[in-house]
Structure 1
Amino acid sequence: MTWAARAFAEDGIDPRAARIVAHATESGRTLATGESLTGGALVSGLVDVPGASRCVVGGAVCYSLAAKTRLLGVDADVLAATGAVTAEVAAAMARGALRAYDADLAVSTTGVAGPGPDERGIGQGTVFVALADAAWGTVDVRELHLVGDRAEVRRQTVDAGLALFDEALAQVRDDGRS
């Protein structure tokens, strides 16, 4: 079920975001985002949750290539050669958000929301989300091919970002990492 279709509590808070904030707070983990096509919607969904300030340390909206380089440290030569919609760029954005905010977990989003393909011909709905984990020194990148209009692609990308946080925090609980 997509982020847009999932039932929200009466207070308008996404139940998954509430669970993520609760689990991050309980485990002492801090969260950050590095967002492009979602334009801050991922971090916004998290900070809608009361008490999010105990675990959410920040979110960078880096829509332009220059901002991705300046704020998240994505290699400008890589961006010039490949554009922003690649697994390598998503991984670099997640690592950059991790560093920028000194967070434990960071999720990045990059892709083509549409309408239509981007200037390189990458199709609408092509998205990469990545999660960087400071404790493990790893980055998990997922390529998505989403269907829908611009708003729906963005909503589904937020949902995918929340899923990455949720999975990582579930692993923390399952592994007993503190």
Structure 2
Amino acid sequence: MSAAEVLKLARRSNIMIATAESCTGGLVAAALTDLPGSSEVFDRGFVTYSNAAKADMLQVSGSTIEQFGAVSQEVAREMADGALRASQAQLSVSITGIAGPGGSEHKPEGRVCFGLAVDGHTTSTETVEFGALGRTNVREAARDHALELLQKAILDLQNSL
């Protein structure tokens, strides 16, 4: 999956994209904006590494973070929804996870939660266990998975028209 393909599909469908990233620190936004013409379909990216940033920038509920932890599908959902609300986008992807090193028994290294919000649709979430691949590899795998989620969402929207 390539960022170029995501941009091409978004351009064809007239869809604006926003990102909300924690453990990837903006890698998805960087992959998209590395390409010329990305401003036509990429609205903005939020790097919300801290819990305070998630709350301040995306209105992630403190009680959600407290109850489920920052690395959870519930937080990923609120991040994706918040990115839509705080942008001009119709599609957003969110990422929160444990890139490593470290982790815990309950939240191991390589666990990454994703949210995908599409204007007018129910926000979907999923968790991927990439494993203890090392910090860089987990972050890159999460970036690539987020790009795949964006591509699939745009294709699904095209097919539903």
* TM band (smaller chain): over 0.9
RMSD between superposed Cα atoms in Å:
1.3
Alignment correspondent of 1:43 = 29
Alignment correspondent of 2:123 = 139
The gaps in structure 2 that reach 5 residues or longer are: none
Alignment correspondent of 1:8 = none
1:109-168 deviation line (CA, Å, top 9, x unaligned) = 0010010115x851001110111000x322111110002001100000001100110001
1:113-128 superposed matches below 5 A: 113-117=99-103, 121-128=106-113
The whole-number CA distance in structure 2 between the counterparts of 1:74 and 1:102 is 18
Alignment correspondent of 1:73 = 59
Alignment correspondent of 2:69 = 83
**Of 80-89 and 58-67, the range deviating more from structure 2:** 80-89
SS in 2 for 1:98: helix
Q: Does 1:161 align with 2:146?
A: yes
Q: CA deviation at 1:49?
A: 1.5
Alignment correspondent of 1:106 = 92
- Paired amino acid for 1:19: E
1:57-84 deviation line (CA, Å, top 9, x unaligned) = 0000000000000000000122123220
The whole-number CA distance in structure 2 between the counterparts of 1:91 and 1:79 is 12
Q: Does 1:59 align with 2:41?
A: no
Match of 1:171 among 151, 156, 160: 156
1:93-120 deviation line (CA, Å, top 9, x unaligned) = 00000111131000000010010115x8
Alignment correspondent of 1:11 = none
- Paired amino acid for 2:123: V
Q: Which aligned runs of 4 or more in structure 1 are off by greater than 6 angstroms? A: none
> How many pairs are equivalent?
160
The whole-number CA distance in structure 2 between the counterparts of 1:99 and 1:89 is 15
The gaps in structure 1 that reach 5 residues or longer are: 1-14
Which structure has the greater CA radius of gyration?
Answer: 1
The whole-number CA distance in structure 1 between the counterparts of 2:65 and 2:160 is 36
Q: Provide TM-score, normalisation by structure 2.
A: 0.95
